Amino acid sequence: MEIPTFLIHNGEENTMLSTLHDSFNSPYFPVLIILIFVCVFIGLQMYTPGLNSIKSQKVGDGQYGDARFMTEKEKKKVYISVKYEPKKWRKGKNIPKLPGIIVGETISSQTKEVIASICTDDNHCMIIGGSGIGKTTRFMYPNLEYAMACGVSFLVTDTKGDIARNVAGVAEKYYGYKIPVLDLRNPMQSAGDNIMYLVNRYIDMYKAC
């Protein structure tokens, strides 16, 4: 990189310009520039306020930092309370009328009855957790029992087969459900539907005439 010198004093190049000229032409000049930028960057990072300096400030319009549990008054507005009585439901007694999702339960200190909090809105629910924390036994089974008591139809994906073994018999015996099982691993034991059945039947009936 050639820097032209333009100041002349008594026929000689200015000493300062000559020094700058030599510095720019030095092979170490790019390294020096990079080091300067690195030092400036590190200095800015050291003196830039971090997240700890804004802990007491609200972010946005309160989307973060305001999470809390519902109060009892709010729960009564959002959810309905239903006595969870599967033994009576299986006998046809105290059948619940509104289907929904069981999102929680409380046990009465006086009567020891289990009161389920039901969300009756048209919502979706997702549970994420490790193996053995009770996703199936503590959430799926109670909700399936409640759905069967309300008489709603539902589809269950059951990769292990545990739900079919533990719930299908109860659904058929006590609630009158018909449980077709679609088994892709054992197609010969799976429920199926022959869409040509009625066609063949009517053809056979026509030939019989």
Domain ranges (residues) in the chain? 8-51, 72-200
Instruction: Give pLDDT tens digits for 91-147.
Output: 999 999 999 999 988 888 888 899 999 999 888 888 898 888 889 999 999 999 999
Residues 6+ apart with CB under 8 A from 33: none
Strands 101-107 and 12-13: unpaired
- CA dihedral over 20, 22, 26, 28, signed as positive or negative: negative
- CA dihedral over 114, 119, 124, 129, signed as positive or negative: negative
Instruction: Give pLDDT tens digits for 165-207.
Output: 999 999 999 999 999 988 888 888 888 888 888 888 888 898 8
Q: Which two tokens stand for residue 82?
A: 């239903």
